[in-house]
Amino acid sequence: MSSDKIESERKYECHKCWVEMKKEEIKTFGPNIIIDVCPKCKGIWLDKGELDKLLKDRKLTNYLTKHIGTKSRSPMICPRCGNTMDIEKAEDIEVDVCLTCNGVWLDEGELEKLKETSEEGFEPDELAKFEEKEEEKLYKKRNSSLNKFFRKFTK
Ligand SMILES: [Zn+2]
Ligand SMILES: [Zn+2]
């Protein structure tokens, strides 16, 4: 046990089973990463960037964690930051992604399915992403005009 393990000592509960998640070390080509696994339902929590390290597939990871829009379609609350999450789909796999911290929740078996999808050569479905990209653009636009609006009054 070395002292640089402190970061990985944080404990989280599974949002489904309310049991403490267990740390599991996964070997990758780079430094090993430590993920949280629920001992009951075998769900996995991945922090931002960890999915990419596991899959080694930038295209697939970006598809799942970038341009996720602003609407929450998931009933799940992020176990890390407590914000709302959205459901993202790659082929027939549905994962929950946090709109704020970009962490990813995978149910049992979904990581394997994602790996298979990646090995078969994943091609992003741009059409399916279109709506979320538009949503994001609109949201940014609305925010910047709101800011202008408020600036007028705070002078
Ligand atoms: Zn669980
Ligand atoms: Zn979060």
Determine the distance separating the centroid of ligand 2 and the alpha carbon of 48, expressed in angstroms. Answer: 9
Ligand nearest to the CA of 36: 1
Output the pLDDT for position 132: 86
Dig out the tokens for 106 from the structure. Answer: 């995978």
Tokens of 75: 């009933």
> In angstroms, rounded to a whole number, what is the distance separating the alpha carbons of residues 21 and 10?
10
Range of the domain at 130: 3-153
Is residue 114 within 8 Å of residue 55, measured between CB atoms? Answer: yes
Q: Residue 104 Cα, ligand 1 centroid: separation in angstroms?
A: 14
Residues with CB under 5 A from ligand 1 (ion): 14, 16-17, 38, 40-41, 43
Q: What is the pLDDT along the chain (155 residues), one digit of tens a residue?
A: 444 444 555 678 898 999 999 999 988 777 899 999 999 999 999 999 999 999 999 999 999 998 888 888 888 999 899 999 999 999 899 999 999 999 999 999 999 999 999 999 999 888 888 888 888 888 889 888 888 887 877 65
Query: From ligand 1's centre to the CA of 56, what distance in Å?
Result: 26
As for how many domains the chain has, the answer is: 1
Cα 15 to ligand 2 centroid, rounded to whole Å: 13
Q: What is the DSSP letter of 21?
A: P
Output the CA angle 53-55-72, nearest 5 degrees.
90
Q: Which of 35, 132, 44, 139 is nearest to 88 (CA)?
A: 132
φ and ψ at residue 85, rounded to 5 degrees: -125, 165
Query: If you measure from the C-alpha of residue 50 to the centroid of ligand 1, how many angstroms do you get, rounded to a whole number?
Result: 19
Give the ligand with the smallest distance to the CA of 78.
Answer: 2
Cα(155) to centroid of ligand 2, in Å? 35
User: What is the reported pLDDT for 9?
Assistant: 59
- pLDDT of 1 reads 44
Residue 82's beta-bridge partner residues? none
Q: Do 83 and 98 touch, CB atoms closer than 8 A?
A: yes
pLDDT for residue 147: 86
Cα of 21 from ligand 1 centre, angstroms: 8
Cα(26) to centroid(ligand 2), Å:
22
Per-residue model confidence (pLDDT) at position 84: 93
**What global pTM score does this model have?**
0.81
Give the other-Cβ count within 10 Å of 81's Cβ. Answer: 14
